[in-house]
Every structure is written in structure tokens, then in C-alpha cells.
Structure 1
Amino acid sequence: MKIKTTVILQILRWLAFIAFVGFAIETGAIIISFIVSFRNPDTAKNLYKGLDLHELKAYGNWVYYVAVVFLAFIAGLKSNVWMNVMTMLSHLKFDNPFSPDIIKFLKRISDALIAIWVIGLLYNILAKYLEHKTGNELMNVLAAGNFLFMAGLVFVIMQVFKRGLEIQSENELTV
């Protein structure tokens, strides 16, 4: 049974690594496309994966800059979440699963997910404001509420791990 769990955790660690690399590449691609769009404004038509912010750039540079910064921060925070998951899985020990390190990583993951939610909310507020001002949907609305839900789940798991650490410490003291 232990070998099976070890193999599963190893696979999950590799999947977390792949997700981390993917979101890091996405962050870099958004930033590089954004920088290139200073020289070539037509680049905003296909910023990253078909993301068309050309009309947004035509409406106003400040709105375009803010939107791209929000998108880059969200992608960077997603990368950070997966880096913390990958690191947490590598620090996980079967003989002592409830450790302060695991709780620390869970807290970082929860904080990053809440930050994604806040930035997503700000992005959506900007999108709705622009839609109200122009009558056109210049920006796609993000599903930011999902990140708040995920942050809540990670927070609950963190509380379970905290309680497990307390029980584990009490058991070590009684022996």
C-alpha cells in the first residue's frame, strides 16, 4: 500500500511540475507579448493564445496596460500555486505527515488563491466598467469565484493539518 501511495505522490509531483512550467511559460508569454506590443501595436490582436486586446488598446493605453498586468499577475500567481504544491509534495513524509512545513505551504497556496480571486475581481470590475462605458465587451470576464472556493478548500485542509499536528505533538509528549 505504501508503494502505491508513494508512486501516486511522485506522479502528482510531476504533474504539479508540468503545471508550474506551463503557467510560468504563460506568464512569460503574456509579458513578452505585452512588451512587443509597444513596438508593434498589431501584436495586441493576438497577445497570447488568441487573446485579442486590440480594441482595448484602441480605447486607451492605460486600460490595456492595467488589463495585461492583471492577466500577467494572475498567470504568475497560478504558477506560484503549482510551485508551492510541487514543493509541498516533495516535503511530505509518510512517517510524519503533519509538519509545520506542510502547513506553511498550504497557507501560501491559500493566500495565492485568494490573491488570484482579488485580482480577478478587479479585472472583472474593469471589464464591466468598460462594457458600461463603451457598450461593447472589450474584455472577457474571468471566473474568479472558483479561486475563492479553492482557497476555502485549501484553508479547510490546512486547519485539518494544524489539528493533526497538535494531536501528533500531544502523542509525542505522552510517550
Structure 2
Amino acid sequence: MSKRNNFIWKGIQVICWLIFFGYCIQTGALIFNYVFSLFKPIATHNLHLGLDLSELYLKSKSIYTLVFALIVVISALKAYLFFVVLKLFKTLNITKPFSENVSGIITKITYYTLSIAIISIVAQEIVSQLSDKGYNVGIVERYWNDGGAYLLMTAILFAIAFIFKKGIELQNENDLTV
């Protein structure tokens, strides 16, 4: 690998580490804020980066918990997705990239992106229904407004996983004929 490509490869890894740490911190902050808001309801006015669910908390604690659980689950899944991507960087051998381990990790990444997409779309629909019923959900959509992007990424990753499976077959066939 050339120095330029190696630099880009390392840069992508650093960016993935930063995103992973960011989502871990976000998930931890969200969990802490939820637990804290159960004991101090005044905290529902500014839960995380301006998120105000105080009206939702006063109307229904169970719906408040549902919305907050969706936020936490999506954030945690995104953190774990980037953890698996970092595992891919560690496993991937550039000189011989087609291996069962790499294919398995790419398939796992595909499933996690699909999970994030589905949960995001379901959460968006739930919050839309709550808004129609008069619940004020604030700016909660920003936690899952990228469900469509994750769905598109799932389709792309599915194609890449398929290519890797074919690559493994061709590589094994090539190894047998040599």
C-alpha cells in the first residue's frame, strides 16, 4: 500500500474511533440523564443538547420512557456498529482481503445497519403518531432522522457482502487450482 493510501486508511480508522467514542459518550449521557430525570423531573426540561421532554413526562411517564428507550437503543446500536467497523479494520488484510472472518464482519455490519434503519423508521412513526395525538416531543427526531440513510447503507453493504462471498469462492477455487 502506498504512503498516501496508508495515510488515508489510518485517517479513516481515526475518524471511526472518534465516532465510536462520540456515540459511547452520547449513549452514556442519555442513560444518565434518563435515570436522573426519574428522580429530578425538573431535568426533563434540558435532557441532552436542548431536548425538552418535560410535557411528555408530565402527561405520561410510560410514553416518556418509550421515547427515551428508542433514543438510547438507536444511539447504542450506532456505537456498537462503529465498534464492529473498528473490528473490521483490525481483521482486514489488504493483501488477501477475501476471508471468512471479513465476510462475517461485513454481514454483521449489514444486520446492524438494517436494525438501526428499522428502529429509526419505527421510532419516527411512533413520534409522528404521538405528535398527532397532541404530545409535545420536542426535537427528538434528530436522534433518528437518518433512518433512510441507514436503509440505503444496508443495501450497499448487502451488495458488498455478496461480492465478498463470491470473492471467497473464487479465491478458494484459485488456491485449489494452483
Number of the residue aligned with 1:156: 159
So what's the TM-score if we normalise by structure 2? Answer: 0.91
> Structure 1 residue 125: deviation in Å?
2.0
Deviation string for 1:59-79 (max 9, x for gaps)? 210110001110000000000
> For residues 51 and 20 of structure 2, what CA distance do their matches in structure 1 show?
21
> Structure 1 residue 7: deviation in Å?
2.6
Of residues 25-34 and 137-146 in structure 1, the stretch that sits farther from structure 2 once superposed is 137-146
Partner letter of residue 167 of structure 2?
Answer: G
Deviation string for 1:115-171 (max 9, x for gaps)? 11121122112212111211x552543322221111111111111111111111111
> Structure 1 residue 2: deviation in Å?
3.2
Number of the residue aligned with 1:42: 42
Partner letter of residue 174 of structure 1?
Answer: T
1:98 match: secondary structure: coil
- Where in structure 2 are the equivalents of 1:127-146 lying within 5 Å? 127-134=127-134, 137-139=136-138, 140-141=140-141, 142-143=144-145, 144-146=147-149
Residues paired across the two proteins, number: 174
So what's the TM-score if we normalise by structure 1? Answer: 0.93
- Unaligned stretches of 5+ in structure 1? none
> Structure 1 residue 39: deviation in Å?
1.0
Is the 1:34–1:68 Cα contact (8 Å) retained in structure 2?
yes
Number of the residue aligned with 2:23: 23
- Unaligned stretches of 5+ in structure 2? none
Structure 1: 4+ residue segments shifted above 6 A: none
> For residues 137 and 167 of structure 1, what CA distance do their matches in structure 2 show?
56
> For residues 48 and 35 of structure 2, what CA distance do their matches in structure 1 show?
12
Number of the residue aligned with 1:174: 177
Please tell me whether residue 165 in structure 1 is matched to residue 168 in structure 2.
yes
Is the 1:9–1:89 Cα contact (8 Å) retained in structure 2?
no
Query: Percent same amino acid among aligned pairs?
Result: 28
- Where in structure 2 are the equivalents of 1:9-88 lying within 5 Å? 9-88=9-88
> Structure 1 residue 52: deviation in Å?
1.4
Partner letter of residue 90 of structure 1?
Answer: K
Number of the residue aligned with 1:121: 121
